[in-house]
Structure formats: structure tokens, C-alpha cells
Amino acid sequence: MKILIVDSSVPFRLLLRACLSEVPDTEIVGVAGDGQQALDLIRRLQPDLITLNMKMPGMDGIEILQLMRDNYPDIKVVVVACRTETDAEKTLQAMELGAFDFILKPDDKVADTKAYLQLKLLPKIKQARSLKSVSKRVHIPVKVASTPVNHLPEKSNRIPASGVFKADIVAIGSSTGGPAALQEVLSQLPENFAVPIVVTQHMPKAFVVSLASRLNKNSSLVCTVAEQGQVLQLGHIYMAPGDVHMKIIRRGSTLVAQLEAGARVNHAIPSVDVTYESLVALSPAIKTLAVVLTGMGNDGAKGAKLLSEKGNHVVIQNEESSVVWGMAGETFRNGAANEVLPLADISKSLLRHVA
């Protein structure tokens, strides 16, 4: 795999080169310190993967991706982002423009920066080897007002005579490629969507805040980052914060977000499995529609299986429309999936299974 390093910092470029030169079956074909130099090297060297910093003189990472989207859609891009709100927003924009994934630059708390970068980059590089084009464009509809519903029924019995599954809550899990996929699905739902939606996306805290803001702006539903003890309202989206796990518990006739610090589960915090398994505990009184979207690894597969065994309904994104068919693929292989759908059809499934 041919790799091009693009970063405005000379010391960081040297550090990345030292890290990546030790990765088997890779070749560092060039380094660039500004946007124009990066584009020149892309045209001349045709790399397989680029590590891309957002802040550069002359032309920033977003401008580079905009030019690459039409001309070089098969080149994988991993954004190397700073831990700031500005970079969080730009990174999400970069992923909408086709960036494959991102990592955070090490901060002062990281003792061994080289080991940290290798730990973060190696799985991305391994996954990128098997990918085709990651260029994705998301349609963003105009909000349409309707009457919201803001209470949970006293009793849950949402399976009518037809036998069609009817959910009390939608729980979505996603990782690599998730921000664009979430926007595609959630932007298609009406404001009076009749159950709460909880989302567990693998992302640092600042990035979750930025993503929630973007989803709130670009969908008809209210989207916020979940808070401890928050009552879940129908027609609202609640995102797990990026530094704690999110469980769902029941208090009387309401569902409540319970946030808990803890160890990583499936290498992730928040973990999709933690959220799903909390909903298993509420079954069958509360019926869950679990949705597993694109993402690296297997987080969510175990919890989806347990939900399925309790009579809940599991929808997964198909391989063809996924950036990475890891989480959804594992859910398919363990037999938990009730439906395997292209990304464009998942919102239709949600509407079909929500009264």
C-alpha cells in the first residue's frame, strides 16, 4: 500500500513517517506540508491512502477532499485531527466528503506518541486495504413541521394482529462511516416519529457534540447528546456521549438514559453492546428495533443477538452500501439480523415498524 503523509507540522510529518515505515507491506511514497503540494503529489504518485491534516497553509484539508471527491474517489483518506471543536466540525465535514476515518493527534498525556499512532493507524490501514471507493454524498432534506408526540404509553403491546413488529424504541449502533450513514437515515424521518431514538456512535466527546448539532440541523427530529437521568421523549434522538457508556432503563412509564463510566467494551467507549444489553433487560415489555450500521469491528453483534432472542427486531446495513461491513457483518453472521437493507431503505424500515 502506497501512503502519502500530508501535515503542516514538520516534526509530526517525521513522526508519522517513522511510525508508518514500520508497517508491513506499506511504502511512504511522499510527504506534503501544504495543500497545493499535496495535490501535486496525489496526481503524480497516485497513493492508495493519505493521512490528512485539516489545517494547512494555502489550501486546507476540506478543499483537498472537495477536489479529490470527483477526481480520486478510490484513494482512502484518514484524517489526523486535533482535539478541538473546530477540528471536530471539519472532520465530520471531511467524512461527508469521502474521508474513510479519522484519528486524534496525541496530546501531552500520551507517554509514547509513536506507539499511540501505530495503535490507532494500523487497524485503519488494515481495513483500508480491502475497501473500494469511500466517496459518499448525503442528501439533506428541508425540515417539515408536524405535531410531535412526547410520552411513552403506560403499557407496551405493539404487535398487532398482522404480526408486524412495532417498536417502542429505536437503538442505532455505528462506527466507521457512521456520521454520513446516520445523516442519511435520520434525515428521512418525520418530526412526529412516534418513538425515541438512541444512537451509539464510536467517537470522542467533542466530535459527538458536533455530530449531534449537525444531525439536529439537518433532520426533522430534535437531536441532542444524552444527559444523565434524561427522560427519553418520542420524536427525539439521543446520542451517547463520547466518554461514557449509555444504558437505557425504565422508570414507570418512561425510558431514561443512564450514563456510566467504565472500561472499554469491544475496544470502544461508548459501546453499542452496552446499550443493547440494557435494552435486553427491558424485553419483552419494551420492544426494541435495533439498527446496526457501517463500522469496524464487532461491537453490537452480541447485543443484537440477545435482543433478537428476546423477540426484538434487528435491521442491519448491507455490505454493498457500508463503508466497512464489520459490525453489521458480524451481526449477520451470528444470525441476529431480521432485515439486511441498503442504507437508502433503512429509514423506510424504521417507519414500517413504528406506529
**Mind telling me the catalytic residues?**
175, 202, 299
C-alpha cell recorded at residue 344: 437508502
Closest C-alpha to 39, from 79, 11, 6, 70: 6
For the record, the C-alpha cell of 37 comes out as 503540494
For the beta carbon of residue 12, count every other beta carbon within 10 angstroms: 18
Q: Nearest 10 degrees: CA dihedral of 162, 163, 167, 171?
A: -130
Quick check: 211 and 198 in contact, CB under 8 A? no
Spell out the residues 6+ positions from residue 346 whose beta carbon is closer than 8 angstroms to its own.
185, 291, 293, 315, 317
Measure the CA–CA gap between 149 and 320, rounded to whole angstroms: 35
Strand order in the sheet with 27-32: 27-32, 2-6, 49-53, 76-81, 101-104
Q: CB of 50 within 8 A of CB of 78?
A: yes
**Is 16 in contact with 117 (CB distance < 8 Å)?**
yes
In this structure, are residues 123 and 89 in contact, taking their beta carbons and an 8 Å threshold? Answer: no
